[in-house]
Structure 1
Amino acid sequence: MGTIVNGANGGFKGKAGSIIGSSWKSINYIKGLYKKRSKPASEAQMMQQEKFKTLMRFLLPINFFLKIGFGRKNTEKLTPINAAFQFNLDQAITGIYPDYTLDYSKISISDGSLYGGGTVGVSYDAGDLSFTWSTDDSETFETFSDDMVYVLAYHPEKDEFISTPTPSTRAAGTVSFTVPEHLATGAVHTWLFLSNRSKTKVSKSVYLGEIQLI
């Protein structure tokens, strides 16, 4: 694929002979017409395709979180979900082809330089999942009471995510929500991260562990 920086004719869209012109985020591209594959995919290609499916199946439903957690990563060339995919590809996938699985403890929902939640934790009691974090704010570390806190839980057996309807704040120190009845068995994996109010800075996400639901 070629990138059109400048030229006498500028960028174009559509088909012209054997090439196709398109643009994305004000960047003009040209690429050749698709050619039907005559050779079967190699084992390396099939392995990469299987890794892609395994990881993207997890990431797609949480695009809202990824837009915040990876929204500042190489935005000129990558969407947040693609940035999250690249970030997690080498560290979160385990197993041997074709039986790949995810190591949830190594999955990152966000990555940035904002100071995180300090002492963090999660617990489950009487149907409620509760997250806690430190409430200290610091002008030195540019952390403030209105920093936003995002929590996330994933139920692998049901393949469903749950979270709060809206983010909490650093000053709150805790947030709880009721686990839906159809998910209140088995276990969930949990994460937490923060952003500033304008969502221009985020912390690294923290994996809080696997929580058994009774």
Structure 2
Amino acid sequence: MGVIRRGANGGFKGKAGSVIGSSWKSIDYIKGLYKKRTKPATEEQLMQQAKFTLLMRFLLPLKVFIRVGYGQRKTDTHTPMNVAFQSNLSRAITGDYPDYMLDYSQVRIAEGYSGGGGESASAAAGVLTVTWNTVENGIYAQQPDDRMYIVLYHPGIDQFLTAPTPPQRADGTVEIVLPNHFQTDEGHVWLFTADRKGRNVSRSVYLGEVALV
């Protein structure tokens, strides 16, 4: 793909001969027309495709969180989802082809400052309880009304759950009622914080595997 930085006629949109013009975030691009593959994919290509499918299938339902968690990174040239994908590709996938798996402890749904501590998650009687330290760290410009974003993933049913409304840092704890179909096996929990404008964001913290029964 080429990027049009200068030119007598500037950028264009649509098909022109063997190329297509488009624009994204005020940057003009040109790319060749898609050509149908005639050769079978190599093993290396199949490996990359398998990793891509596994990771994107996990990240796409988290788009609303990733928009906040990666919203301040490479915003001029990359979408938050692009950055999140590249961030997790080399870190969170384990195993050998074709049996790739996600290492949930290495998954990050937000990148930012690493301040924190005291976070925990547990479940009992159909309720997920998440707690965190309410002390504000001035170095990281933390505020009592910072929002706490919590994600629970249940691999057995391949579904995510979060609080109906993000609690605030000053709350110190939140209880999330688990639907009946979530009250089986184990789930994985992450937490990250962001200020009201979504600009001062923390790195997500993996709170571990939690028994949901």
Residue 95, structure 1, aligned to residue 87, structure 2: no
User: 1:211 aligns to what?
Assistant: 210
User: 1:126 aligns to what?
Assistant: 125
Return the alpha-carbon distance in structure 1 between the equivalents of residues 93 and 171 of structure 2.
34
Deviations 1:88-143 (A, max 9, x none): 00010011111111000100010102633x21101111110000000012434311
Return the alpha-carbon distance in structure 2 between the equivalents of residues 53 and 21 of structure 1.
27
User: 2:145 aligns to what?
Assistant: 146
| TM-score calculated relative to the size of structure 2 | 0.97
Deviating beyond 3 angstroms after TM superposition, the runs of 4 or more aligned structure 1 residues are: 138-141
Amino acid at match of 1:46: L
User: 1:60 aligns to what?
Assistant: 60
Return the alpha-carbon distance in structure 2 between the equivalents of residues 121 and 101 of structure 1.
25
User: 2:11 aligns to what?
Assistant: 11
Amino acid at match of 1:164: A
Return the alpha-carbon distance in structure 2 between the equivalents of residues 38 and 151 of structure 1.
45
Return the alpha-carbon distance in structure 2 between the equivalents of residues 114 and 200 of structure 1.
15
| TM-score calculated relative to the size of structure 1 | 0.97
User: 1:33 aligns to what?
Assistant: 33
Long gaps (5+) in structure 1 = none
Return the alpha-carbon distance in structure 1 between the equivalents of residues 94 and 30 of structure 2.
36
Query: What's the offset of the Cα at 1:77?
Result: 1.6
User: 1:82 aligns to what?
Assistant: 82
Long gaps (5+) in structure 2 = none
Return the alpha-carbon distance in structure 1 between the equivalents of residues 160 and 107 of structure 2.
14
Residue 35 of structure 2 aligns to a residue in which SS?
Answer: coil
CA RMSD for the aligned pairs?
1.0
Identity of aligned residues (%): 55
Amino acid at match of 1:43: E
Residue 168 of structure 1 aligns to a residue in which SS?
Answer: coil
